[in-house]
Structure 1
Amino acid sequence: MLSTTARTTLNRGKERARTDRTDLYAVLDAGLICHLGVIVDGAPMVIPTGYGRIGDTLYLHGSTGASSLRAGTTEPVCVTVTHLDGIVLARSAFHHSVNYRSAMIYGRARRVDDPDEHLDGLRAVTEQLAPGQWDVVRLPTRKELAATAVLALSLKEASVKVRQGPPKDDEEDYDLPVWAGVLPLNVSWGEPLPDPRLTPGVTVPRHIRKRG
């Protein structure tokens, strides 16, 4: 079960809450980019960044010089992942909505200093974007590892919200001659575009073709 802290307990739209931890994993594992919210020099900053999950830990990465990552280890952070599944068109402007799946994680991140965990975190981030890619590329050098910070954030305090289904109009509006329903949003991969400097004879690997 997910945590029930003051920050993760829904006060509005309670019917959209999901309380099973597998729902959290499903939202995170289906995503590609998260948004890291952190306080930097007294002001809020929200950074889109790659991430990866290993068990109940979320890993984020970036340059060691990034102020957002430095602040992320000294101030509380909030990480969100959202999937937009459709636009919900109602008969009234007030009841327009969206179908979505979202996760929100609170906590204090820690900088990963252990070399093995550091490499595991980078692998998790890479595999989140392109499963199978880590096993075919050149691995990071010591210099590259030193230039890349990895943060670990526990999934202990998290909430999940999901909205699905048709619009919910006021009862008196259902007879209005206005089209209502859902405009689904489907995201798909295109054909892989080779690097212009690709070595002749190198073909698209199977794990990339599978994404199409």
Structure 2
Amino acid sequence: MEDLSPTPRSTVGRGSARARADRSELHAFLADALVAHLGVVVDGDPVVLPTAYALAVDGPDDGGTLYLHGSVAARWLREAPARTVCVTVTELDGLVAARSGFHHSMNYRSAVVQGTARVVTDPAERALALDAIVDHMVPGRSATLRPATRKELAATAVLAVPLRESSLKVRSGGAKDDPSDVARGGWAGHVPLRRSAGRPVADDDVRTGVPDDVLARAAALA
């Protein structure tokens, strides 16, 4: 597979120095992040909604597949198939305080995926995609659950977006102040941010201990 940003619309313009060219870095980031935002035009108006997702590097679409899911009754899912959609995934890694307001910034990793969405109709692929979305949140979780019912499957739509047209930008480190501001003095730097999971909290009706898969996920995010 060629490097990232293989088409003009997926090529980073503004802030191109922060762009990454290695497709494996995109895969690693998508495997680590948790929430995607899907943008699609619904009834002539743009709509951007958060959604869980799963990465399939060897998926059937061009460049691999990003799977998204939602209710079959959702308007955005009815409008997305066969249209160009834009999926963004962002992790905030820090707040950058500079010596001027202009140079205040944020440290982040952010991927943008553009492509024509398709509805996943093959039962086997749908099952794999839905399990992968669960396992993206808690690795290994899907194997411990009962099979989905016909009613649940009928109520759930799965979208697949090809990963070919993707870009990844990363910012890290401190402020990029002008030399004149540095000479003037004052404090500049950054505040690191990270995800942090607490101990799992059981529902009131649970009568068993916390399973190993949930404990492992909480420990990994602690």
What TM-score results when the alignment is normalised by the length of structure 1?
0.96
Q: Report % sequence identity.
A: 50
Partner Cα separation in structure 2 for residue 3 and residue 17 of structure 1:
9
Partner Cα separation in structure 1 for residue 178 and residue 140 of structure 2:
49
Q: Which of 187, 209, 215 is 1:203 aligned to?
A: 209
Summarize deviations over 1:49-76 as a string: whole Å, max 9, x none.
Answer: 0000111100000011111011110321
Partner Cα separation in structure 1 for residue 94 and residue 71 of structure 2:
34
Partner Cα separation in structure 2 for residue 136 and residue 4 of structure 1:
40
Q: Report what 1:143 is aligned to.
A: 151
Q: Report what 1:70 is aligned to.
A: 78
Q: Report what 1:21 is aligned to.
A: 23
Partner Cα separation in structure 1 for residue 8 and residue 79 of structure 2:
23
Partner Cα separation in structure 2 for residue 13 and residue 37 of structure 1:
22
Letter matched to residue 171 of structure 1:
P
Kept after mapping to 1: 8 A contact 2:6/2:164:
no
Q: What is the CA distance between 1:94 and its match in structure 2?
A: 0.4
Residues 1:182 and 2:190 are matched in the alignment: yes
Partner Cα separation in structure 2 for residue 103 and residue 87 of structure 1:
19
Summarize deviations over 1:153-197 as a string: whole Å, max 9, x none.
Answer: 110100000011111100111023321101000211001100101
- Between Structure 1 and Structure 2, the one with more helix by share is 2
Summarize deviations over 1:7-60 as a string: whole Å, max 9, x none.
Answer: 111222111000111111122111111000000000000010000011110000
Structure 1, gaps ≥5 residues long: none
Q: Report what 1:7 is aligned to.
A: 9
Residues 1:162 and 2:164 are matched in the alignment: no
Q: What is the CA distance between 1:93 and its match in structure 2?
A: 0.6
Q: Report what 2:95 is aligned to.
A: 87
What TM-score results when the alignment is normalised by the length of structure 2?
0.92
Aligned length: 210
My pick for the range that moved more, 155-164 or 130-139, is 130-139
Partner Cα separation in structure 2 for residue 171 and residue 51 of structure 1:
43
Please provide the CA RMSD for this pair: 1.0
Runs of 4+ aligned residues of structure 1 deviating over 4 Å after TM superposition are: none
Letter matched to residue 87 of structure 2:
V
Structure 2, gaps ≥5 residues long: 58-63
Partner Cα separation in structure 1 for residue 51 and residue 162 of structure 2:
17
Letter matched to residue 18 of structure 2:
R
Q: Which of 41, 51, 54 is 1:52 aligned to?
A: 54
Partner Cα separation in structure 2 for residue 123 and residue 54 of structure 1:
12
Residues 1:129 and 2:137 are matched in the alignment: yes
Q: Which of 32, 35, 38 is 2:37 aligned to?
A: 35
Letter matched to residue 22 of structure 1:
S
SS class of match (1:160): strand
Q: Report what 1:172 is aligned to.
A: 180
